[in-house]
């Protein structure tokens, strides 16, 4: 499979160049040259497939022959070694739990697959690979842990000071070795700007072999398509049902992966782009005007994005047609108060504990079903274990959340982080001084 830049479709590269390059020099994002349809036989047999096997079948369609099938199978078998169960919440509403991986966040799926793919692609290189990743929370922890001690790869994680949870910071900044954590005096958008600027800086590119591990890297989106198919596998007679999926959205990589899955044949009638008050994309869906803004801090911090990178991929998928985008995506945004109310109500009525991001997704599907009663199954993505946000959730539910052992282990570790301003020259100097 070849990949082109959203900024220039004549800029076509191999899988290796797209993954290890991370981002084109023209400031676009890579997209697969074609998105083939999965055969009818795949959907007819979906109930009989386990998660790893269906993931392998989907990956083969996107990646093609670039990775030998046995190696691709081994990557998936090792990376996708936990389930994403579909759990009933209310009548016609289910949640897809994506937090059963090592760091208890959905980004474990993408990060673990990516680490194995990149390790394979650089195994014969005479240079070490440096991964730059900007995070608003769970990306950094998933990537740091996914790439920890992977030979030939160094990771530099940039995260905004005082804008991620204490547990998220511990998961990012306590590993050491090949993982460097940089605490940036700014927002996630500032972190993302530093990373994107570094990728197009000639001096840095000459000094280091750079790539990204954010959802700007196409290898993050490929495995995120897998769990959408795994969700439908768990719905009886899904092919005869009207299904809608609500995706809590920040940088819009998760939703983009869902749209790619839909292009491959995923039988979902509508996606709901559910955001917090950083509602740039819901505003676009209402007006047709895209107006990035500085991000605003909320309790659903991983979604605090004022200029979502993957919006360019969404435009590309639909040839920039606002009408076509609106036909597949419905937008909604929620306040922190509404998010807290949802967490409280769901706990009281069902006993289920939502994390703040899942609560936004829940409200998105709840609102959509009220207006579209013909939908048979509404799904929302639960993207992180609530224990990662216990300081937010416990006062709301007036109860304690038990911290899983693998999460508690991080709390006893010492933070190893370096402070950084949001000014690019300082970041560039750091990269050049720490060349490998």
Contact present, 218 and 224 (Cβ < 8 Å): no
Contact present, 174 and 100 (Cβ < 8 Å): no
Tens of pLDDT, residue by residue over 341-359, are: 999 999 999 999 999 999 9
Q: Which domain holds residue 264?
A: 84-104+221-397
The yes-or-no verdict on residue 365 having pLDDT over 70 is yes
Q: Is 120 left (phi over 0), alpha (psi -120 to 50) or beta?
A: alpha
Tokens of 216: 């700007």
Tens of pLDDT, residue by residue over 160-212, are: 998 887 888 888 888 888 999 999 999 888 998 999 899 888 888 888 888 88
Contact present, 313 and 35 (Cβ < 8 Å): no
Q: Which residues are paired to 418 by β-bridges?
A: 182
Specify if 301 maps to a domain: yes
Nearest to 2 by CA among 25, 33, 37: 33
CA 73 to each of CA 15, 53, 77, 159: distance values in angstroms, whole numbers, following the listed order: 17, 8, 6, 33
Query: What CATH code is carried by the domain that includes residue 310?
Result: 3.40.50.1100
The yes-or-no verdict on residue 436 having pLDDT over 50 is no
Q: Is 142 exposed, middle or buried (0-12, 13-18, 19+ CB in 10 A)?
A: buried
How far, in Å, CA of 406 to CA of 410, rounded?
7
Tokens of 400: 């304690």
Tokens of 35: 């998105």
The helix (run of H) or strand (run of E) holding residue 95 is strand 93-97
93 vs 140, higher pLDDT: 93
Specify the pairing of strand 329-333 against strand 270-275. parallel
Specify if 431 maps to a domain: no
Tens of pLDDT, residue by residue over 392-426, are: 999 999 999 998 988 888 888 889 899 999 999 99
Tens of pLDDT, residue by residue over 235-285, are: 999 999 999 999 999 999 999 999 999 999 999 999 999 999 999 999 999
Strand arrangement, sheet containing 8-13: 8-13, 3-5, 30-32
Specify if 92 maps to a domain: yes
How far, in Å, CA of 235 to CA of 416, rounded?
44
Q: How many domains does the chain have?
A: 1
Specify if 342 maps to a domain: yes
Specify if 166 maps to a domain: no
Contact present, 339 and 276 (Cβ < 8 Å): yes
Tens of pLDDT, residue by residue over 224-247, are: 999 999 999 999 999 999 999 999
Specify if 160 maps to a domain: no
Distance of CA 59 to the CA centre of its chain: 17
């Amino acid at each position: 499979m070849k990949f082109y830049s959203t900024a220039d479709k004549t800029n076509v590269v191999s899988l290796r160049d797209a993954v290890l390059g991370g981002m084109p020099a023209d400031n676009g994002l890579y997209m697969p040259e074609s998105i083939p349809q999965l055969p009818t036989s795949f959907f007819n047999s979906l109930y009989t497939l386990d998660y790893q096997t269906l993931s392998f079948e989907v990956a083969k369609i996107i990646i093609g022959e670039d990775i030998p099938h046995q190696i691709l199978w081994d990557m998936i078998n090792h990376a996708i070694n936990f389930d994403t169960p579909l759990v009933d919440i209310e009548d016609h509403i289910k949640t897809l739990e994506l937090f059963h991986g090592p760091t208890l966040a959905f980004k474990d799926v993408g990060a673990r697959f990516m680490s194995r793919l990149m390790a394979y692609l650089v195994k014969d290189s005479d240079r070490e690979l440096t991964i730059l990743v900007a995070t608003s929370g769970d990306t950094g922890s998933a990537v740091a842990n996914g790439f920890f001690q992977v030979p030939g790869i160094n990771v530099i994680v940039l995260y905004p000071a005082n804008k991620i949870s204490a547990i998220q910071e511990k998961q990012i900044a306590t590993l050491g070795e090949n993982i460097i954590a940089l605490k940036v005096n700014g927002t996630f958008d500032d972190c993302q700007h530093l990373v994107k600027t570094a990728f197009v800086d000639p001096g840095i590119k000459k000094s280091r072999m750079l790539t990204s591990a954010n959802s700007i890297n196409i290898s993050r989106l490929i495995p995120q398509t897998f769990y959408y198919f795994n969700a439908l596998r768990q719905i009886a007679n899904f092919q005869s049902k009207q299904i809608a999926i609500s995706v809590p959205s920040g940088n819009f990589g998760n939703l983009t992966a869902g749209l790619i899955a839909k292009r491959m044949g995923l039988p979902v009638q509508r996606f709901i782009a559910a955001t917090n008050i950083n509602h740039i994309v819901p505003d676009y869906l209402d007006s047709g005007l895209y107006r990035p803004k500085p991000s605003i801090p909320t309790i659903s911090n991983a979604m605090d994005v004022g200029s979502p990178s993957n919006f360019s991929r969404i435009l590309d998928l639909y040839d920039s047609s606002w009408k076509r985008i609106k036909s597949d995506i419905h937008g909604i945004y929620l306040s922190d108060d509404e998010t807290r109310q949802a967490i409280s109500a769901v706990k009281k009525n069902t006993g289920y504990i939502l994390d703040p991001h899942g609560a936004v997704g829940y409200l998105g599907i709840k609102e959509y079903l009220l207006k579209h009663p013909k939908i048979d199954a509404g799904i929302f993505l639960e993207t992180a274990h609530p224990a990662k946000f216990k300081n937010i959730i416990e006062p709301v539910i007036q109860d304690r959340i038990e911290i899983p052992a693998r999460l508690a282990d991080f709390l006893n570790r010492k933070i190893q982080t370096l402070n950084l301003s949001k000014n690019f020259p300082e970041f560039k100097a750091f990269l050049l001084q720490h060349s490998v």
